[in-house]
Structure 1
Amino acid sequence: MPTPTRRLPKQDRREQLLDTALEVVRARGADELTLLTLAEAAGVSRPIVYDHFGTRPGLLLALYRRLAERHRAETARALAGAPPAPEAIAEVMSAAYFACATDMPEFTAISAALKGNLEMETRQRDLLDEYTELMAAALSPHSALDLDALRLRCVGVLGAADAIAAELNSGRITESAAVAALADLIAGGLVPGR
């Protein structure tokens, strides 16, 4: 039986549960995260966890959304201080991407755990679209591509970024190599015909 915890406002409890869920994923992997394991780890009753997330996919999506929003916010913050040159923007964007990828290794595990659920993949797609828009907005002043073509290249770059992040997280490359490779892909994608 969980030890009683003090009563928190609903949003504070949700944040506490998400913090605990991330700890579970870090310690045991995404496959071990269930509503029951979360309730036990957080020291709360199952109905509290069910009230916040409803289902395991709902919990995973809440974690994914939290990490994606943090990632997007960090990138936006980094871009706000970037010099207005395409190579500098590409470098800042790449560095921010991999800082988050190494700082949040559970992001990939949570994303993989959501695969196969159509509703969850649709919501993941929405979050990816938001990140793509952020990239395209930062790059569009430096590209002759129309916005649709630039967005498509951003989608491709993000796919490459995920693959490079997997190499980085497996220890096969260094962070500096990852940042340089992605920055080159971003900057190279700004010119039509390439």
Structure 2
Amino acid sequence: MMSSDRPGKPDAAPRRRMQRDERHHQLLQVSWGLIREEGTDALSLGRLAERAGVTKPVVYDHFGTRNGLLAALYQEFDVRQTKVMDAALAASDPTLPGKAGAIASSYVECVLTQGREIPGVIAALVGSPELGEIKRDYQSVFIEKCRRLLTPFIGHGTIGQASLWAMLGAADALSNAAAAGEITPEQAKDELYQTIVGMVERAGRV
């Protein structure tokens, strides 16, 4: 008869509970994956909870609503884009070609990194007045950054607000076309570079 005090199989190590910021990051990454595989329309808080292996209250606690989740995804994309662009600008030549090239390359690369997911998120943002305002706020910050970076290259002129918004529209259109495979990444970067340089040169002639 076996002794009752014989050591048995050791218990499995308990799973470490994620900290709130770790869980938040995990849920965002699962959301991106869900959008990539099934499209933005498939993204819901319930579906996210199922995919992430957590209860619905956990997801609701982090995002509140689907709009809150979409806003968080766009915010994460914007933070990533800002970091990439700042690094590219810091490493670029202090010339118009250097700065224009850094802006164009980093903008396109960020959209390509996120693949086809970010256009769907942006489309969902535009469909909501609340989220549309969030998107415009981030766009305004980007536009002002470009104005500050490019103004030293135009002498005594100024870059008009309409021109900056047109540049941003071109950046989005070209990046999305590259992500969809309609043009190559290099074509998108080169065209955006030419757009930025042309905008600055026109401003200097006014």
Determine the C-alpha separation between the residues in 2 that align with 1:72 and 1:133. 13
Partner of 2:189: 179
Deviates more, 1:47-56 or 1:126-135: 126-135
Q: 1:141 aligns with which of 152, 155, 160?
A: 152
Determine the C-alpha separation between the residues in 1 that align with 2:127 and 2:181. 28
Partner of 1:17: 27
**Pair 1:31 & 2:33 matched:** no
Partner of 2:132: 121
Q: 1:158 aligns with which of 168, 175, 179?
A: 168
Determine the C-alpha separation between the residues in 1 that align with 2:27 and 2:179. 26
Secondary structure of the residue aligned to 1:83 is coil
Rg (Cα) greater in structure: 2
CA shift for structure 1 position 6? 4.5
CA shift for structure 1 position 57? 0.7
Aligned residue runs from structure 1 range 94-109, under 5 A: 94-105=104-115, 106-109=117-120
Q: What are structure 1's unaligned runs of at least 5 residues?
A: none
Determine the C-alpha separation between the residues in 2 that align with 1:171 and 1:122. 29
Secondary structure of the residue aligned to 1:184 is helix
Given that residues 53 and 59 in structure 1 are in contact (C-alpha distance below 8 angstroms), is that contact kept between their aligned partners in structure 2? yes
Determine the C-alpha separation between the residues in 2 that align with 1:124 and 1:95. 21
Determine the C-alpha separation between the residues in 1 that align with 2:22 and 2:177. 36
Cα distance per residue 1:57-76 (max 9 Å; x no partner):
11011001100111122111
Cα distance per residue 1:9-57 (max 9 Å; x no partner):
2111111111111111111111111000110111000001001101001
Percentage of pairs with the same residue: 34
Q: What are structure 2's unaligned runs of at least 5 residues?
A: 1-14
Secondary structure of the residue aligned to 1:189 is helix
Give the count of matched residue pairs.
189
Deviating 4+ runs (over 6 angstroms): none
Query: What TM-score results when the alignment is normalised by the length of structure 2?
Result: 0.86
1:45 to 1:6, Cα distance in 2 relative to 1, 3 A? farther
RMSD value, Cα: 1.7
Cα distance per residue 1:122-162 (max 9 Å; x no partner):
01111111111221222121123336x2x442221110111
Partner of 2:61: 51
Task: Supply the AA of the counterpart residue of 2:121.
Answer: I
